[in-house]
Structure 1
Amino acid sequence: MDTSSKENIQLFCKSSVQTDGSSSLKTKYPCPEEKQPCCGELKVFLGALAFVYFAKALTEGYLKSTITQLERRFDIPSSLVGVIDGSFEIGNLLVITFVSYFGAKLHRPKIIGAGCLIMGVGTFLIAMPQFFMEQYRYESYSPFSNSTLSISPCLLETSSQLPVSVMEKPQSKISNECEIDASTSMWIYVFLGNLLRGIGETPIQPLGISYLDDFACEDNAAFYIGCVQTVAIIGPIFGFLLGSLCAKLYVDIGFMNLDHITITPKDPQWVGAWWLGYLIAGVISLLAAVPFWCLPKSLPRPCGREDTNSSSEEGKFITDYQTPCGKKVKIIEMAKDFLPSLKNLFGNPVYCLYLCASSVQLNSLFGMVTYKPKYIEQQYGQSTSKANFVIGLINIPAVALGIFSGGIVMKKFRISVCGAAKLYLGSSVFGYLLYLSLFALGCENSDVAGLTVSYQGNKFISYHERALFTDCNSRCKCSETKWEPMCGENGITYASACLAGCQTLTKNGQNIIFYNCTCVGIVPSKSGNSSGMVGRCPKDNGCSKMFLYFLVISVITSYTLSLGGIPGYILLLR
């Protein structure tokens, strides 16, 4: 067939569709498929959207990995960290309805690009407190690290000596308290930065996926969306691995001489370079915004989707607001149909079922993902770096496999929209029940003197009997708010060496051993020594087996929840 014949068939197809909107002529005379160039605008949009999904998923994964670091750096409770983490959803909820409604009728690529810029600015804002705060101070017994010495951790009441901070300067007590208050209020920057991230992320999913669904061939749309989701799963893997790397670096790296640091990443007071990953993620978010400013508002529709019967609801929704001359109506006229559209949406039973399934899934997923690194640290005695590494390399691939399996199930069994809703709800409920089973896989609490066991080693201790001070450390001037754990030779953890009544210590570099600990000597130890070392006592052997069971159930749960990912997206689009 020559070129002129092809042009005549295409003109005939277009004129037939424009006349009566019927697809009968197109069935009789199918239009030839036009191959898109390898670097077409739609494929550029696909690559840019996939990169944006990667950027936002990387930042989200990195934020989850820094939960414990933020608690220690800003000296804030876990409940406040939960509020900071939830600020992303707060920002998303503030604008999602308006962005998805009005943005669908405006220049979608540019709106996504603007959202990427806001995400980048918010990510940089999270890291800003590091440049405004004083250098991190942790309690130490000596500012020297390269000498061997013996001092008394148990400070007698008559002694004027106080524990020296590694970075402490001679200041009054009042000024120190002011500095502490100023430092702890810096978490507001993290809150606002994550709030901006939520606002900037808003247009990416509704406008980006609908753009692909509108202008891609019907056979390629599902494949393109699958590519985007696959890249989005890779993002958290890099986020947690980046968090594992930064957790090994000291928080003030680049600001001080690290030779003076006397603690290691295994120490409970260690804070990693939490801010470094946010700078990297912020640069990636800004780079992701560049391609969207060069893309057009709309693309030529594929010949097989030019008729109104095959176009998506989103496409109809957009074209309804075009005048015959191609001019857009004003935003005020768009706003008149906002409430009626919202009413019709909530009257859709399939959509309501989708909302119920999403509520169950997110309720089980978000809380666990947010505190999972900290839970692994506290419950199973793992380091921050190892917890992030395990999540990045074990749980995230299970999520990717679940999404891939969900797509295969949808294609092989030709599941309808109603079936997709049931599959999505079923996977969410079953995954939620699996998450509840993790409560039975915890380890026993560590033996902490004065908290879980008595100083005499008795296991049964009532709430009223819990006290960090007793006869063996009554003469020591100790703080009951500082958590500087020491493991005694008797296998009991003490809140600090001072509360253990240790009289001397020997330090050589980063190795610290405490001797003549009066409280340790109360309980007979295997070695017969009343000494101890920095850090918590390790969990028993049964805890390592429980940790293995926890990982297995966690992987199965991640797979189950993600199995409904593709059905959920089908519901979201249709």
Structure 2
Amino acid sequence: MSVDSQKTRKACCSNLKLFLASLAFVYFSKAFGGAYMKSSITQIERRFDVPSSLIGVIDGSFEMGNLLVIAFVSYFGAKLHRPRLIGIGCVIMSAGCFLISLPHFLQGLYKYETSVSHNADVNSTGSILPCLSNHSRAEADKMPDLETRTACEKAAGSYLWIYVFLGNMLRGIGETPIMPLGVSYLDDFSKEENTPFYLACIHTVGILGPMFGFMLGSFLAKIYVDIGSVDLDSITISHKDSRWVGAWWLGFIVTGTVILLSSIPFWFLPKSLPKQGEEESQSKGTELTTVAEQEIFLPDENQDREEKPVTFQELAKVPSLRRLFKNSIFTLMVLTYLVVVNGFIGMITFKPKFLEQVYGQSASKAIFLIGIMNLPAVALGIITGGFVLKRYKLGVIGAARVSIAASIGSFCLLCVQVFISCDNAEVAGVTVTYQGAPQVSYNPQTLLSQCNLGCSCSMKRWDPVCAYNGVTYASPCLAGCRSATGNGKDTMFHNCTCAGEMMAPGTNMSTVLGQCTRRSNCDYIFKIYMALSALASFISACGGTPGYIVLLRSIQPDLKALALGMQTLIVRTLGGIPPPIYFGALIDRTCLKWGTKQCGGRGACRIYDADSFRITFLGLITGLYFVSNILWGGLYYKIVKRQKKLALRNQAKENGQEGNTLGNGHASISIAKNKEDADNESTI
């Protein structure tokens, strides 16, 4: 008999450890895929020539997929086979990744704006000479007729971004069971004192996913989108150009394969396990909460937890939801998370573009730096937060204090970042005049000057060239260039009259392909910004695990899966879908020069006003974090208030026990009423 008991205990530990390892790998793989999606946003935007607002809708489709099934999964998931539901979700996520990559194989080769002729007949929207003196400007900017444009859009696959939208939605549907069912399964069958450590381990392994995702995104951003299909020597742009598109599709094939592999262990795990350590003792308190605090946040803990079948009548009344939202701490926690996630999602979605436009970094380098600086800082912060909780045995109030301190610290550093910036890239007629004076202009007419009036240039074309005076011109024609030598990337334009206006007579009036680099002091400023950004990421992450513990310890065990699911539903719906859309729409308002689609019409933005971009982007994030700090203050007040009521309740109990039991009828009634009031406040 003892041998069987020992085998059962070993099997339990083995299954729990297998589930822990499998869940950690799933967290890694889903974060791997999610981070790669974020890192490839810029590439997708350029490939399909869509504005930031539409790319925000595409990015938000992940949360839309969550919204479709999360209520069902969270409510019924605890009644079903949770590990297998997680495995099914992984398969769906993998299918979504493969669907996202499908447009690459359905649409033609990528064609970017260029005025350079080269040997390949595929990557050119037209071969025009600098300074079109024999054409009218109206002809240069003429839009194709409706029939021609429709045929062109069909051939170019302009609407294939819908596949990306639907694939990302499938990713959201598949990701739904992982968090609520995985965490509740782990918390149900592990020791309470071990739960924070297990969660910290899972999130720590999970944070490696974004690191690898951004690394993969950085690597593929340097590889041309049509690699293997075109002669790379014929490509006239580099990975630093705003028209460049990397091999975004290849990463989704990789991430889909990894997610598919992560689903395998869950098909072999049991539906339930014995409670970890229940053979040893059932009376041990948790290291995270004192007995008193546990009592107020989890009343009636010894109630019957036997699962009952769900009826349609019960679902229609939704009694569990009423109990859930009666808990004021749970409600405030969800509201706080909602505001924080709004800022975080907006920041992580457009931060690569922010680094590219404000600090002059290439898309590949921006993604790489986020992967090696911000994400390790987040991982270290999560570990530190979990260590502080376990080392000092902090209760719910202590955990709330750590979260508040982390939130205020990261907010202060974010405020400092708003004032750190570089000057705008010097583009003639856009950010500076043709004489070199600073002048930000949203009017395309400022691209024209006396030096290029005789050239009949198109004001829509974006084919930047860099002059020796350090100024970028929107195209060789707008630079007033009269001749060209070389071909491909080695093309040079000569006798550029506009470049001569800012240089002494006799100096070199030639230009080369591509934008000019930023001033040297911008690199130093950028290093300061990245250091502050990494520090802010670390401090903010220190409050992640404590905040999550506050949420978990304010939920009754039988409603844990539902509560986590509802929290995910609300935060994902209102915190995941809107931010990319309104962040993108506001960022679009700072665009100075829009690109032109292959078939005509406005494409993706090529250059932004760096100052307006910075103030809009960081100002919005700072405002959201300010609101979250106010909410944390209200949350802390509610926790302390309940603690005082708990102290009075315990004191009344002690007084009742010391007196004569038979002669304390009124005291017993008072104690019972106090208990009922406390339970009504803390019951979910």
On whether the aligned pair clears a TM of 0.5, the verdict is: yes
SS in 2 for 1:440: coil
The separation in 2 between residues aligned to 1:236 and 1:190, in whole angstroms, is 20
| Change in 2 beyond 3 A, CA 1:353/1:84 | same
The separation in 2 between residues aligned to 1:408 and 1:526, in whole angstroms, is 67
The separation in 1 between residues aligned to 2:481 and 2:202, in whole angstroms, is 58
Residue 513 (structure 2) pairs with residue 540 (structure 1): no
SS in 1 for 2:162: helix
Deviation at 1:427, TM superposition (A): 2.4
Partner of 1:87: 61
The separation in 1 between residues aligned to 2:432 and 2:552, in whole angstroms, is 57
Deviates more, 1:506-515 or 1:370-379: 506-515
Percent identity, aligned pairs only, is 49
Contact kept, 8 Å, 1:350 with 1:418, in 2: the verdict is: no
1:209-220 map, 5 Å = 209-220=183-194
Contact kept, 8 Å, 2:463 with 2:475, in 1: the verdict is: yes
Partner of 2:118: 143
Contact kept, 8 Å, 2:234 with 2:489, in 1: the verdict is: no
Contact kept, 8 Å, 2:483 with 2:495, in 1: the verdict is: yes
Residue 57 (structure 2) pairs with residue 57 (structure 1): no
| Change in 2 beyond 3 A, CA 1:466/1:321 | farther
| Change in 2 beyond 3 A, CA 1:493/1:244 | same
Residue 377 (structure 2) pairs with residue 377 (structure 1): no
Deviation at 1:432, TM superposition (A): 3.6
Determine which of 143, 149, 152 is the counterpart of 1:179: 152
SS in 1 for 2:29: helix
- Deviation sequence 1:184-230 (CA, Å, 0-9, x none): 32222212211221121111011101111111234543333222111
| Change in 2 beyond 3 A, CA 1:354/1:422 | farther
| Change in 2 beyond 3 A, CA 1:137/1:463 | closer
The separation in 2 between residues aligned to 1:480 and 1:151, in whole angstroms, is 14
Contact kept, 8 Å, 1:125 with 1:189, in 2: the verdict is: yes
| Change in 2 beyond 3 A, CA 1:465/1:250 | closer
Partner of 1:269: 243
Contact kept, 8 Å, 2:113 with 2:462, in 1: the verdict is: no
Deviation at 1:76, TM superposition (A): 0.7
Deviation at 1:319, TM superposition (A): 7.0
Partner of 2:264: 290
Partner of 1:399: 378
Contact kept, 8 Å, 1:357 with 1:428, in 2: the verdict is: no
Determine which of 149, 152, 156 is the counterpart of 2:129: 152
> What letter corresponds to residue 532 of structure 1 in structure 2?
T
Residue 413 (structure 2) pairs with residue 450 (structure 1): no
> What letter corresponds to residue 309 of structure 2 in structure 1?
V
Deviation at 1:462, TM superposition (A): 6.7
| Change in 2 beyond 3 A, CA 1:488/1:301 | same
Contact kept, 8 Å, 1:473 with 1:518, in 2: the verdict is: yes
The separation in 1 between residues aligned to 2:354 and 2:515, in whole angstroms, is 16
Determine which of 322, 334, 344 is the counterpart of 1:343: 322
| Change in 2 beyond 3 A, CA 1:469/1:432 | same
| Change in 2 beyond 3 A, CA 1:516/1:433 | same
SS in 2 for 1:533: strand
Contact kept, 8 Å, 2:12 with 2:274, in 1: the verdict is: no
> What letter corresponds to residue 273 of structure 2 in structure 1?
L
Deviation at 1:466, TM superposition (A): 5.4
Contact kept, 8 Å, 1:451 with 1:466, in 2: the verdict is: no
Deviation at 1:62, TM superposition (A): 0.8
SS in 2 for 1:510: helix
Contact kept, 8 Å, 2:117 with 2:488, in 1: the verdict is: no
Contact kept, 8 Å, 2:385 with 2:543, in 1: the verdict is: yes
The separation in 2 between residues aligned to 1:436 and 1:50, in whole angstroms, is 34
Determine which of 191, 208, 219 is the counterpart of 2:165: 191
| Change in 2 beyond 3 A, CA 1:415/1:543 | same
The separation in 2 between residues aligned to 1:415 and 1:224, in whole angstroms, is 17
Contact kept, 8 Å, 1:118 with 1:196, in 2: the verdict is: yes
SS in 2 for 1:514: strand
Residue 535 (structure 2) pairs with residue 556 (structure 1): yes
1:239-254 map, 5 Å = 239-254=213-228
| Change in 2 beyond 3 A, CA 1:357/1:431 | farther
Contact kept, 8 Å, 1:354 with 1:421, in 2: the verdict is: no
Contact kept, 8 Å, 1:357 with 1:425, in 2: the verdict is: no
| Change in 2 beyond 3 A, CA 1:39/1:422 | closer
| Change in 2 beyond 3 A, CA 1:292/1:411 | same
The separation in 2 between residues aligned to 1:389 and 1:461, in whole angstroms, is 30
1:90-239 map, 5 Å = 90-140=64-114, 141-144=116-119, 152-158=129-135, 175=148, 178-180=151-153, 183-239=157-213
Deviation at 1:433, TM superposition (A): 4.2
> What letter corresponds to residue 75 of structure 1 in structure 2?
D
| Change in 2 beyond 3 A, CA 1:570/1:34 | farther
> What letter corresponds to residue 119 of structure 2 in structure 1?
F
Which stretches in structure 1 are left out of the alignment for 5+ residues?
A: 11-31, 164-170, 323-327
Contact kept, 8 Å, 2:112 with 2:243, in 1: the verdict is: yes
Residue 456 (structure 2) pairs with residue 471 (structure 1): no
| Change in 2 beyond 3 A, CA 1:98/1:268 | same
| Change in 2 beyond 3 A, CA 1:530/1:451 | same
The separation in 2 between residues aligned to 1:38 and 1:246, in whole angstroms, is 43
The separation in 2 between residues aligned to 1:521 and 1:549, in whole angstroms, is 36
TM (norm. structure 1) is 0.84
Residue 306 (structure 2) pairs with residue 329 (structure 1): no
Contact kept, 8 Å, 2:13 with 2:276, in 1: the verdict is: no
- Deviation sequence 1:279-312 (CA, Å, 0-9, x none): 1111111121222122211112235289699899
- Deviation sequence 1:73-129 (CA, Å, 0-9, x none): 010111211222222223223332332121112111111111111111111121111
The separation in 1 between residues aligned to 2:442 and 2:227, in whole angstroms, is 42
The separation in 1 between residues aligned to 2:440 and 2:387, in whole angstroms, is 55
| Change in 2 beyond 3 A, CA 1:426/1:211 | same
| Change in 2 beyond 3 A, CA 1:183/1:382 | same
| Change in 2 beyond 3 A, CA 1:36/1:153 | farther
- Deviation sequence 1:469-503 (CA, Å, 0-9, x none): 22222232433222221111222211111111111
Partner of 1:360: 339
Deviation at 1:514, TM superposition (A): 1.4
CA RMSD of aligned residues (A): 3.3
> What letter corresponds to residue 411 of structure 1 in structure 2?
K
The separation in 1 between residues aligned to 2:260 and 2:302, in whole angstroms, is 31
Deviates more, 1:259-268 or 1:398-407: 259-268
> What letter corresponds to residue 276 of structure 2 in structure 1?
P
Contact kept, 8 Å, 2:463 with 2:514, in 1: the verdict is: yes
SS in 2 for 1:505: strand
Higher RCO (CA < 8 A, seq sep 6+): 2
Deviates more, 1:128-137 or 1:286-295: 286-295
The separation in 2 between residues aligned to 1:195 and 1:278, in whole angstroms, is 14
The separation in 2 between residues aligned to 1:52 and 1:406, in whole angstroms, is 22
| Change in 2 beyond 3 A, CA 1:159/1:93 | closer
Partner of 1:440: 419
Deviation at 1:551, TM superposition (A): 0.2
- How many residues align? The count is 531
Partner of 1:423: 402
| Change in 2 beyond 3 A, CA 1:493/1:542 | same
Contact kept, 8 Å, 1:113 with 1:292, in 2: the verdict is: yes
Contact kept, 8 Å, 1:65 with 1:388, in 2: the verdict is: yes
Partner of 2:566: none
Deviates more, 1:257-266 or 1:404-413: 257-266
Determine which of 383, 391, 415 is the counterpart of 1:412: 391
Contact kept, 8 Å, 1:151 with 1:503, in 2: the verdict is: no
Contact kept, 8 Å, 2:196 with 2:386, in 1: the verdict is: no
> What letter corresponds to residue 243 of structure 1 in structure 2?
G
The separation in 1 between residues aligned to 2:498 and 2:360, in whole angstroms, is 24
TM (norm. structure 2) is 0.71
| Change in 2 beyond 3 A, CA 1:561/1:360 | farther
